[in-house]
Homo-oligomer: A and B are copies of this chain.
Amino acid sequence: MSLRHALLGLLAQGPASGYDLTRAFDGGIGQYAWQAGHSRIYPELGKMAEAGLVVVDETGPRGRKSYALTDEGRTELRRWMLHWPERTAVRDETVLRMFLVQSLEPDDARRLLEGIAEHCAAELAKLRPVMDEVDAEHDPREPVPFGRLAGEYGLRQYEAVHGWALWSLERMGATVPG
């Protein structure tokens, strides 16, 4: 039931409508952590309201319903964040491809690894300046801006995969570009 907790976590930043939350999944969370479309989000918000985890705190034009966390919701979010199950749910197509690299012919494997390395380098080139800008604009006496920790995670993730792809190419006996 991670969608529920993703929504609780997003609402912890402040009230939002189903529409707002749907757009939040277009960003980093949807790319790296969890995906959901509006057709799943609206019914889930309904159930969460029934369960007392959220309330409609405001209605706006076009039938907009803004949801806010209740104390119960915040408690449930905290419970979920602090206590991890033994084995957490992971489903990642990219990692699956990494596991299966060695099922390809060496030439194909090399091409794939080169593609991964290039992709990571490109993403790093996009993400690094964004994070640098966030840091430059941030007063160090204020709390860390929301999303900065997640952004750093993304950065380190791409660096790790990039390094892994180059290491793998070298290990396979390819001429490593760069």
Contact = CB atoms under 8 A, between A and B. Distances in A.
Contacts of A56: none
B91 A91 contact: yes
A104 interface: yes
Q: How large is the interface on A (under 10, 10 to 19, 20 to 34, 35 or more residues)?
A: 35 or more
A42 interface: no
Given A98-B149, A102-B144, 20 more contacts: A6-B100, A9-B99, A10-B103, A29-B99, A33-B91, A34-B92, A78-B108, A81-B103, A81-B104, A84-B97, A89-B91, A89-B93, A99-B150, A101-B149, A140-B174, A141-B175, A143-B176, A149-B168, A153-B164, A156-B164
A115 to B, nearest CB: 8
Interface of A: 2, 5-6, 8-10, 12-13, 28-29, 31-35, 77-78, 81-82, 84, 87-104, 106, 108, 111-112, 115, 140-144, 146-150, 152-153, 156-157, 159-161, 163-164, 167-168, 171-172, 174-176
Nearest to A116: B84
A139 to B, nearest CB: 10
